[in-house]
């Protein structure tokens, strides 16, 4: 997984450049597709993410929805240091960087939109 993270380490830069230049999403995803290893790593990491979600929730869509809603609303308890006693909610500890990294990854995954014959649909992650 660490190797795959390394393969997509430039996604943030590419994403930002295309957003600034007004060439997102078409030129962005075309540039991403020029590197087969990068594409394979996005697919691999996306599948791992989906495997974890499926392992935890199975077919319980209601619980999955509530969990993502609770996460988005900052309701999930997190007692790791250095959280103050009155602020123990789950946070992206990397500040905004963590969110932007995930957002760029998931948008790339959706834009790649693998064929059903490959056994994995990025839109599965949006359910």
CB 45 within 8 A of CB 1: yes
What's residue 63's pLDDT? Answer: 94
**Domain that includes residue 88, residue range:** 2-126
- Residue 113 pLDDT: 75
What is the reported pLDDT for 34? Answer: 96
Cα-only R_g, the chain:
16
What residues in the chain have per-residue pLDDT under 50?
A: 116-117, 119-127
**Which residues 6+ apart lie within 8 Å of 108 measured at CB?**
8, 11, 15, 29, 32, 42
Q: Tokens for 69, please give them.
A: 């809603």
Total number of domains constituting the chain: 1
Q: Quote the pLDDT of residue 116.
A: 44
Q: What distance in Å separates the CA atoms of residue 115 and residue 121, rounded to the nearest whole number?
A: 7
> What is the structure's pLDDT at 88?
62
pLDDT recorded at residue 76: 73
**What CA–CA distance (Å, rounded) separates 97 from 73?**
18
pLDDT value for 18? 97
pLDDT of residue 71: 78
| pLDDT value for 90 | 62
């Amino acid at each position: 997984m660490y190797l795959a993270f390394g393969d997509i380490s430039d996604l943030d830069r590419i994403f930002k450049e295309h957003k600034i230049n007004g060439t997102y999403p078409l030129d962005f995803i075309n540039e991403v597709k020029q590197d087969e290893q990068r594409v394979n790593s996005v697919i691999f990491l996306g599948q791992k993410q989906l495997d974890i979600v499926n392992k935890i929730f199975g077919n319980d869509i209601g619980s999955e929805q509530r969990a993502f809603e609770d996460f988005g609303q900052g309701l999930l308890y997190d007692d790791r240091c250095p959280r103050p006693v009155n602020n123990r909610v789950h946070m992206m500890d990397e500040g905004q960087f963590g969110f932007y990294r995930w957002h760029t990854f998931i948008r790339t995954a959706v834009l790649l939109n693998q064929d059903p014959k490959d056994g994995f649909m990025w839109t599965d992650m949006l359910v």
